[in-house]
């Protein structure tokens, strides 16, 4: 398979796999696609460890790193460069009523407090000040791609990446967003439809891709509800030159997804997700459950803007993860999880996508013969 993105990165298949798990990233890159490590949840030291491991296990194949540098967020105008000082100021912006609501929700579901030393990660990559250290670490490694979500990456970050020979990608949920990203110099636009897991807009993938392709002159990757070769063929028929995938990697053999969460994904249907602000304050598609329902209830005080919402709930989510309250355990998941019902090696997923893509194109050619 050959498109502008396969030539750009020297990969066999235009399949990009976003994952927070280094094993998945390395496995997909070794299989001929490109693994992209989500850096959001890692401290600088942890990210250094993860990238060093990938460097040693990717067999010289290209891989990428994804950061989150939102174009807008609460506290952006505070003028604070120190992450520690920023966290302290933002903590003071969280209303007591919201803290009480979270505690009440945990109490109703018998979620115990944390025991032992558990400092947690109140805020990592949700702001410019906290994401820049992650960029700095990433660019010290031989990455091929730096991707950014939630708006155009800062122009100076794009320039710095280019100086090091690293291409830049950014996610877009509207054609207008795609144009803004190209204006700051991104090399690849990921057109992400509302079916996607995590932060996503309101336009469906089928509608969004051709609009973005027509709006920009850089390669476009199709994202949102992409998990098979047929869907890959559909995205590329609409003008995309590759696919950006995420949720399908949550249940592969290499994934570090907790077993309870993995079972829930395998059992879920495509109707079991919902766009909710209850995770970060911005709309994100999550697995629907008692947690997302609670934030939509009449008792809810409403969600806070990013990054205050995540700072509010981060400890609660850790407590839930260490408890028996499975009904509250939520996480980003796209509608494609309705088709993931078996655990497979990541390499097999890549090859099956390619084989099904070829079969889909052959079938299309046959039925359109005159």
Helices (H), the chain: 4-9, 22-30, 44-57, 83-91, 96-108, 128-138, 155-163, 175-183, 205-215, 229-237, 259-267, 290-296, 308-321, 346-367
Q: Would you say 331 and 132 are in contact if contact means Cβ atoms under 8 Å apart?
A: no
| Residue 335, domain member (yes or no) | no
Cα three-residue angle 124-28-243, rounded to 5 degrees: 80
Kindly report, residue by residue over 211-263, the tens digit of the pLDDT: 999 999 999 999 999 999 999 999 999 999 999 999 999 999 999 988 888 88
Which pLDDT value is given to residue 107? 96
Whether residue 87 is found in the same domain as residue 67: no
Task: State the pLDDT at residue 336.
Answer: 96
Low-confidence ranges of the chain (pLDDT < 70): 74-76, 80-81, 116-126, 370
What is the model's pLDDT at position 96? 97
Decide if 258 contacts 326 (C-beta within 8 A).
no
Q: Looking at residue 145, what is its pLDDT?
A: 98
3-state DSSP helix/strand/coil percent for the chain, to nearest 5?
45, 15, 40
| Integer Rg of the chain from CA | 20
pLDDT of residue 118: 54
Q: What is the DSSP letter of 305?
A: P
> Which CATH number is 191's domain given?
3.20.20.70
Residue-range definition of the domain harbouring residue 104: 83-123+269-328
Q: What are phi and psi of 311, to 5 degrees?
A: -65, -35
Q: Are 247 and 197 in contact (CB under 8 A)?
A: yes
* 211 and 302 inside one domain: no
Residue 69: HSE in the Cβ half-sphere, 13 Å Cα cutoff: 24
pLDDT digits (tens, 9 = 90+) for 37-73: 999 888 899 999 999 999 999 999 999 999 988 777 7
> Same domain for 113 and 128?
no
* Cβ contacts of 179 within 8 Å, gap of 6 or more: 215, 216
Instruction: Kindly report the pTM of this predicted structure.
Output: 0.92
Does a cis peptide bond (omega within 30 degrees of 0) precede residue 307?
yes
87 and 65 inside one domain: no
Q: Residue 45: its pLDDT value, please? A: 93
Question: Cβ neighbours of residue 62 under 8 Å, at least 6 residues apart?
Answer: 9, 10, 11, 29, 34, 143, 144, 145
Q: Which secondary-structure segment (H or E) carries 64?
A: strand 64-68
Q: Assess whether 117 and 222 both reside in one domain.
A: no
Per the structure, the count of domains in the chain is 2
Q: Do 159 and 131 fall within a single domain?
A: yes
d(CA 122, CA 239): 40
- What per-residue confidence (pLDDT) applies to 56? 98
Shared domain check, 130 and 65: yes
Q: What is the DSSP string of 215-246?
A: H-SS-EEEESS--SHHHHHHHHHTT-SSEEE-
Is 145 in the same domain as 287?
Answer: no
Q: Are residues 151 and 294 in the same domain?
A: no
Helix axes 229-237, 205-215, angle to 10 degrees: 40
- Whether residue 133 sits in one domain with residue 188: yes
What would the two tokens of residue 130 be? 């906290």
The pLDDT score that the predictor gives to residue 117 is 53
In a domain, 92, yes or no: yes
What DSSP character marks residue 169? E
- Torsion from C-alpha of 16, 18, 22, 26, nearest 10 degrees: -10
In a shared domain, residues 41 and 167: yes
Give the model's pLDDT for residue 219.
98
Domain membership of residue 147 (yes or no) is yes
């Amino acid at each position: 398979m050959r498109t502008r993105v396969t030539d750009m990165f020297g990969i066999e298949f235009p399949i990009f796999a976003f994952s927070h798990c280094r094993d998945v990233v390395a496995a997909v890159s070794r299989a001929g696609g490109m693994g992209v490590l989500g850096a959001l949840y890692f401290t600088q030291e942890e990210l250094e460890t993860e990238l060093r491991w990938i460097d040693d296990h990717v067999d010289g194949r290209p891989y990428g790193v994804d950061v989150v540098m939102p174009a807008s967020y609460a506290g952006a105008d505070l003028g604070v460069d120190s992450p520690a000082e920023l966290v302290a100021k933002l903590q003071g912006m969280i209303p007591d009523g919201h803290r009480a609501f979270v505690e009440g929700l945990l109490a109703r579901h018998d979620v115990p407090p944390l025991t032992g030393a558990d400092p947690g990660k109140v805020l990592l990559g949700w702001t410019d000040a906290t994401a820049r250290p992650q960029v700095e670490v990433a660019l010290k490694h031989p990455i091929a791609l730096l991707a950014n979500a939630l708006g155009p990456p800062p122009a100076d970050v794009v320039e710095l990446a280019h100086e090091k020979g690293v291409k830049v990608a950014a996610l877009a949920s509207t054609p207008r967003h795609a144009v803004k990203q190209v204006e700051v110099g991104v090399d690849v636009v990921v057109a992400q439809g509302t079916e996607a897991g995590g932060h996503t807009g309101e336009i469906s993938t089928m509608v969004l891709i051709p609009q973005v392709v027509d709006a920009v002159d850089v390669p476009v990757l199709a994202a949102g509800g992409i998990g098979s070769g047929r869907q890959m063929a559909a995205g590329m028929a609409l003008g995309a030159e590759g696919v950006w995938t995420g949720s399908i990697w949550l249940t592969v053999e290499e994934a570090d997804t907790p077993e309870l969460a993995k079972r829930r994904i395998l059992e879920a249907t495509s109707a079991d997700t919902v766009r909710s602000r209850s995770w970060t304050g911005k709309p994100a598609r999550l697995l629907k459950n008692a947690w997302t329902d609670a934030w939509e209830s009449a008792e809810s005080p409403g969600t806070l803007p990013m990054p205050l919402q995540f700072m509010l709930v981060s400890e609660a989510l850790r407590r839930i993860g260490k408890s028996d309250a499975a009904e509250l355990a939520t996480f980003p998941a796209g509608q494609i999880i309705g088709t993931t019902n078996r655990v497979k090696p990541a390499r097999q997923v890549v090859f099956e996508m390619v084989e099904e893509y070829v079969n889909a194109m052959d079938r299309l050619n046959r039925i359109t013969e005159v």
